[in-house]
Amino acid sequence: MIKTSLKALTAIEKVTSALAAAMMFAIMIIVFADVVMRYVFNRPFSWAYDLISLYVMAGVFFLSLSGTYAVNGHISVDILLPRFSAIIQRLCVIISNIVGLAIFVPIAWLGYQRALDNYVSGDVMAGAIPWPTWASSIFVPVGAGILALRLAVHLIANVASLLTGENLLPLPAISGHSEKAAGGFE
């Protein structure tokens, strides 16, 4: 069940990461075109800043959260972790999973409620273009929700690994140490 859940989450994260990468590329193209329009033709895009800051940046950030966590790409402080046994390291990861869930489940839930409220009420941003606010706020519950699912699966796998002694989910690699030493119960 754990391996199936991890495979499904990985497939979802590949899609969201590809969307985030496409959005990052879109930012580069829009900024480049806006600079050309501003300095060559003296006609900048009036919509570029709003589109990038309200929609595309939110998508890049929230759609890449879980995929980055899955590959241990987030910043971590591992000063003491190498000094601990594999069991204590696993306990630290379990605590980290619990804290992450306590943070990202409410973010996902409140983000969903806000996006739904924005959609139902037809909220738009004031400006030259009436941008619908739900379209940017939908990235919050999607990204935080996928990360919460990833944290929940990791929590279950880490607890099961701790209880059984079987390495169902490798421990995150610690900088400056071999992968084998970080993942096993030696």
Q: Which two tokens stand for residue 87?
A: 């069991």
Q: Token match 């959609």: residue?
A: 119
pLDDT of residue 27: 96
β partners of residue 132: 124
Q: Measured between alpha carbons, how far is 173 from 114 in angstroms, rounded to an integer?
A: 37
* End-to-end CA separation in angstroms for the chain: 26
- With b meaning 16 or more CB within 10 Å and e meaning fewer, what string describes 55-80? bbbbbbebbbbbbebbeeeeeeebee
61-94 pLDDT per residue, tens: 999 999 999 998 888 777 888 888 889 999 999 9
Residue 81 corresponds to which tokens in the numbers above? 């972790």
Closest CA to 173 of 101, 74, 99, 53: 74
Look at residues 126, 124, 150, 146 and name the one whose alpha carbon lies nearest to residue 137: 124
Higher-pLDDT residue of 127, 56: 56
Token readout for 148 is 């919460």
Q: Under a CB-based contact definition with an 8 Å cutoff, are residues 84 and 106 in contact?
A: no
pLDDT at 186: 39
Alpha-carbon span 106 to 184, nearest angstrom: 33
Q: Which residue has the higher pLDDT, 63 or 172?
A: 63
Q: Is the pLDDT of residue 184 over 50?
A: no
Query: DSSP string spanning 149-161?
Result: HHHHHHHHHHHHH
> Which of 59, 31, 27 minimizes the C-alpha distance to 45?
31
Q: Residues 22-55: pLDDT tens digits?
A: 999 999 999 999 999 999 999 999 889 888 988 8
Structure confidence by residue, pLDDT tens digits, 88-129: 999 999 999 999 999 999 999 999 999 999 999 998 887 778
